[in-house]
């Protein structure tokens, strides 16, 4: 198989973890006999510095003509004082909108070997296996007006939570499709006791649910969901929600695994290409220190193999390599237990690559798919 992958490393640790994902993909390509062509594009702060805009036309065209997009992270203190429309984050929002990436899929997976890292008790987080499906191109992030105004001579500001029904419907349908391949339960999270947009969200969920008799639908208010996520996370299978709610709840959900550095994501569109990025940011405090956890990015690359290219065995080989390295006790700083040693970003990448190239493990996986 031959595929074109657009790589947008971005800022801060985005660059370090992206390098890791690319080298793991190259190794997987060699192992399984695929050719991946990587083309690089600028996004975020670096793009502002070099091109005066957080999402240059060239980058967008590159993405549109590729089979999939890998993105690191954007942002940093250097660009924090810029006006809203040229912030690094604007590049990320624009690429999501331009590529029509309406659903952001964030799996939250329990790893027994690092369960001690979570501040939550082991009996609470044990066996967690859920997916947050976050609406990504509408809601509070994109509604107009979004601006500074004056009211009665006083400074004021407004953001708008706007949805067309069809935008709600397609993301909820995605959640139902996903749940029907998993444990068969959708939790639709809203604030229907207060927000009109949430009442339409809830109604729409009910309508879509009629088409999926095999999937159970449950509604949950977002404040309660924030509590239930840490109180009883095993009750969740697929959680689907508005853009901003999903942003907040997915960071919270990462605590179940132990670290934000463990959570990958895939953003899907109607026509493709899909975009893959870790849910963490550019982590300016540790950028350039070879200390970031590359696992979220590497697992995002595995999701790309599975969801964009249908390479199931290859994706599983990477996921197994990650698990193997964690089981063997390798820890970047964010997942180290007090008193245990840590490895650098590059050492972690090398260890995962070595585990991937472990032929016996590969043989077992390929056998399972034969």
β-pairing, 185-190 vs 68-73, is unpaired
Mention every residue, 6+ apart, whose C-beta is less than 8 A from residue 161. 139, 140, 143, 195, 197, 242, 244
| Rounded Cα–Cα distance for residues 240 and 105 (Å) | 9
The residue count for binding ligand IPM (CB under 6 A) is: 6
Residue showing the smallest CB distance to Mg ion in the complex: 247
Q: 141, 163, 174, 274: which one is catalytic? A: 141
CB atoms under 10 Å from CB of 173, counted, come to 17
Q: Which helix (H) or strand (E) holds 109?
A: strand 103-109
Verify binding: residue 135, Mg ion, rule CB under 5 A: no
Pick from 242, 247, 314, 334: which binds ligand IPM (CB under 6 A)? 247
| Rounded Cα–Cα distance for residues 117 and 141 (Å) | 32
Task: Return the DSSP state at 335.
Answer: G
| Rounded Cα–Cα distance for residues 274 and 5 (Å) | 10
Nearer to ligand IPM, 140 or 366 (CB): 140
Residue showing the smallest CB distance to ligand IPM in the complex: 89
Nearer to Mg ion, 9 or 278 (CB): 278
10 Å CB burial of residue 168 (0-12, 13-18, 19+) is: buried
Backbone angles phi, psi at 200, to 5 degrees: -70, -35
Catalytic residue flag (residue 50): no
- To the question of whether residue 329 is assigned a binding role by annotation, the answer is no
Q: Which residues in the 225-264 window bind Mg ion by CB under 5 A?
A: 247
Pick from 26, 38, 89, 269: which binds ligand IPM (CB under 6 A)? 89
| Rounded Cα–Cα distance for residues 206 and 249 (Å) | 22
Catalytic residue flag (residue 327): no
- Which option in Mg ion, ligand IPM, none does residue 350 bind, with CB closer than 5 to 8 A by kind? none
b/e string for 273-300 if b means 16 or more Cβ within 10 A?
bbbbbbbbbbbbebbeeebbbbbbbbbb
Nearer to Mg ion, 247 or 351 (CB): 247
- Which option in Mg ion, ligand IPM, none does residue 135 bind, with CB closer than 5 to 8 A by kind? none
For the window 185-224, what string marks contact with ligand IPM as x by the rule CB under 6 A? ----------------------------------------
Catalytic residue flag (residue 251): yes
CA nearest neighbour of 273 among 236, 307, 320, 246: 307
Q: How far is the CB of 107 from Mg ion (least distance, A)?
A: 15
Catalytic residue flag (residue 363): no
Q: How far is the CB of 231 from ligand IPM (least distance, A)?
A: 23
Nearer to Mg ion, 249 or 325 (CB): 249
Backbone angles phi, psi at 82, to 5 degrees: -70, 155
Catalytic residue flag (residue 11): no
Q: How far is the CB of 179 from ligand IPM (least distance, A)?
A: 22
Q: 247, 274, 276, 353: which one is catalytic? A: 247
Contact residues for Mg ion (CB under 5 A)? 247
Contact residues for ligand IPM (CB under 6 A)? 75, 89, 92, 247, 279, 281
Bind-site residues:
76-89, 96, 106, 134, 223, 247, 251, 281-293
Q: Which residues are catalytic?
A: 141, 191, 223, 247, 251
């Amino acid at each position: 198989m031959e595929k074109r992958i657009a790589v947008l490393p971005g800022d801060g640790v985005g660059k370090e973890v992206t390098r890791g994902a690319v080298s793991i993909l190259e190794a997987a390509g060699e192992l399984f006999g695929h050719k991946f062509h990587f083309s690089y594009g600028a996004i975020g702060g670096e793009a502002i510095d070099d091109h005066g805009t957080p999402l240059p036309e060239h980058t967008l065209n590159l993405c549109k003509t590729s089979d999939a997009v890998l993105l690191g992270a954007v942002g940093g203190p250097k660009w924090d004082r810029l006006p809203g429309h040229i912030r690094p984050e604007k590049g990320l929002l624009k690429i999501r909108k331009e590529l029509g990436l309406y659903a952001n899929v964030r799996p939250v997976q329990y790893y027994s070997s690092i369960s001690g890292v979570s501040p939550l008790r082991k009996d609470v987080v044990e066996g967690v296996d859920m997916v947050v499906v976050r609406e990504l191109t509408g809601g509070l992030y994109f509604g107009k007006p979004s601006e500074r105004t004056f009211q009665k001579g006083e400074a004021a500001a407004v953001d708008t939570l706007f949805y067309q029904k069809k935008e709600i419907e397609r993301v909820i349908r995605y959640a139902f499709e996903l749940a029907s391949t998993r444990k068969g339960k959708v939790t639709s999270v809203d604030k229907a006791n207060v927000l009109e947009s949430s009442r339409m969200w809830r109604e729409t969920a009910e309508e879509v649910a009629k088409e999926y008799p095999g999937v159970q639908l449950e509604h949950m208010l977002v404040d309660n969901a924030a509590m239930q996520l840490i109180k009883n996370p095993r009750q969740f299978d697929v959680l689907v929600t508005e853009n901003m709610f999903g942003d907040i709840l997915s960071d919270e959900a990462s605590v179940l695994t132990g670290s934000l550095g463990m959570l990958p994501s895939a953003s899907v569109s109607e026509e493709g290409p899909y975009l893959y990025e870790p849910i963490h940011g550019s982590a300016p405090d540790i950028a350039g220190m070879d200390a970031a956890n590359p696992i979220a990015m590497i697992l995002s690359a595995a999701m790309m193999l599975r969801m964009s290219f249908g390479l199931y065995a290859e994706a599983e080989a990477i996921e197994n390599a990650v698990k193997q390295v964690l089981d063997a006790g390798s820890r970047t700083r964010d997942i180290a237990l007090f008193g245990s040693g840590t490895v650098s970003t590059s050492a972690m990448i090398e260890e995962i690559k070595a585990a991937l190239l472990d032929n016996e493990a590969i043989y077992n996986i390929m056998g399972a798919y034969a």
